[in-house]
A = this chain, B = another copy of it.
């Protein structure tokens, strides 16, 4: 008679999730020093085994080129020895960050003498679904380990060889440091069915974080029974108020739009108060032209376009909801600050909105009424970022309201539990 393990009847994805859950239970009580040692071992191993990683990555890059992938995406996919060193250095930075686990979030002695403490604990098993950036594999593993979580990584099939090599190196280092290697796993299988299983592994996986394009995120949000943290989509607005310093307004507009166009905190729509439009728009349109930005303009902005160097096209309603991620911006003139807020509330993805104003009253009203992860006053939308906010690292930018909102650092990868300590206390 052969003995069947209960694992034998499970799919590979479910098996991986069970192993992750067991690893998470081992990780949760570990003190910081042990986790940091494992992170430093990972960084060392990445450097020692760079050749193996770069070689595996070359397979992915060759296949991408064969498939006619754009050079921009090939560049994101490519790992060089320098880039591997930079990734290793990021892992060392994570080791240097404070450990969120064990932090007492609140605590008090209750009137009956019971001591109550709310303490940070790891979430447990974190699933990350992401696109073709192999550095995410290492970043996510490092942040999850530091916060005491096991991680299930589901990268793009176009980076499969790179991810396999990176996870092999990470697991060897984690195991060598005496931690369970199953704390870091690639989700087995490359089919859509294996993603679906991951999304249905409620009770095994504690949270799923999709990182990537809008359609990936929509699929995960709709189909997952595991709780999801929605990330990323950024239809960010810059609103130039009636009272605004024109130089500041131009500088913030150009920085928000053109500093880096492919990122979620880049501006996608400009709104201008009608009282400042005649002064501001000619300068803004010229500056956007210089930055190589095409303006998708409403009728009132179009009126200023003829005399400018700008490339201007007429806006359609879709422009107001588009995250271009390119050298394009939608632009409209609004009657008032409140109309700007209404426009934003109607069309925003809730990421970041900036106001440029010299009026304290306008700044206050805008920050009160706009309900996005981040509201910037006289600052570029580009500051919405874990690194810029001083979090030291970022697992993504949540655009939802539950659990975490805005840039997510290590504390956002934790939950809490209450510890109630008495001397035989019972309820009367």
Q: Is the CB of A415 within 8 A of B405?
A: yes
Query: Whole-angstrom distance between the alpha carbons of A12 and B228 in the complex?
Result: 28
Q: Is the CB of B252 within 8 A of A426?
A: yes
Q: A229 — nearest CB in chain B belongs to which residue? A: B402
Q: How far is the CB of A83 from chain B (nearest CB, A)?
A: 22
Within 8 A of B (CB), among A362-397: 363, 367-369, 371-380, 382-384, 388-390
Q: Is the CB of A426 within 8 A of B255?
A: yes
Q: How far is the CB of A23 from chain B (nearest CB, A)?
A: 13
Q: Is the CB of B225 within 8 A of A202?
A: no
Residues of B within 8 A of A108 (CB): 390
Query: Whole-angstrom distance between the alpha carbons of A388 and B428 in the complex?
Result: 11
Query: Whole-angstrom distance between the alpha carbons of A369 and B24 in the complex?
Result: 11
Query: Whole-angstrom distance between the alpha carbons of A248 and B383 in the complex?
Result: 56
Looking at chain A's contact residues, the main secondary structure is mixed
Residues of B within 8 A of A221 (CB): 202, 225
Q: A377 — nearest CB in chain B belongs to which residue? A: B421
Segment touching B, from A33-41, A48-56, A116-124: A116-124
Q: Is the CB of B424 within 8 A of A248?
A: yes
Q: Is the CB of A383 within 8 A of B425?
A: yes
Residues of B within 8 A of A422 (CB): 376-380, 383
Q: How far is the CB of A381 from chain B (nearest CB, A)?
A: 9
Among candidates B29, B378, B421, residue contacting A423 with C-beta atoms closer than 8 Å: B378
User: How many copies of the shown chain assemble into the complex?
Assistant: 2
Given the known A-B contacts A371-B28, A400-B227, A417-B374, are A259 and B427 also in contact in the complex, defined by CB atoms under 8 Å? yes
Among candidates B29, B390, B402, B420, residue contacting A383 with C-beta atoms closer than 8 Å: B420
Given the known A-B contacts A382-B427, A426-B252, are A405 and B376 also in contact in the complex, defined by CB atoms under 8 Å? no
Among candidates B245, B384, B400, residue contacting A424 with C-beta atoms closer than 8 Å: B245
Given the known A-B contacts A202-B221, A371-B28, A417-B372, are A252 and B424 also in contact in the complex, defined by CB atoms under 8 Å? yes
Q: A365 — nearest CB in chain B belongs to which residue? A: B29
Query: Whole-angstrom distance between the alpha carbons of A375 and B425 in the complex?
Result: 14
Q: How far is the CB of A69 from chain B (nearest CB, A)?
A: 29
Q: A21 — nearest CB in chain B belongs to which residue? A: B345
Q: Is the CB of A425 within 8 A of B225?
A: no
Q: Is the CB of A377 within 8 A of B417?
A: no
Query: Whole-angstrom distance between the alpha carbons of A406 and B419 in the complex?
Result: 11
Q: Does A401 contact B (CB under 8 A)?
A: yes
Among candidates B114, B369, B374, B382, residue contacting A379 with C-beta atoms closer than 8 Å: B114
Q: Does A251 contact B (CB under 8 A)?
A: yes
Q: Does A207 contact B (CB under 8 A)?
A: yes
Q: Does A339 contact B (CB under 8 A)?
A: no
Q: Is the CB of B255 within 8 A of A345?
A: no
Q: Does A206 contact B (CB under 8 A)?
A: yes
Residues of B within 8 A of A377 (CB): 419-422
* Further 9 A-B residue pairs, CB within 8 A, beyond A374-B417, A378-B422, A378-B425: A222-B225, A227-B227, A255-B426, A371-B417, A374-B418, A377-B419, A383-B427, A384-B420, A388-B427
Residues in chain A within 8 A of chain B (CB atoms): 25, 28-29, 108, 110-111, 114, 116, 118, 121, 123-124, 202, 206-207, 221-222, 225, 227-229, 245, 247-248, 251-252, 255-256, 259, 345, 356, 363, 367-369, 371-380, 382-384, 388-390, 400-403, 405-407, 415-427
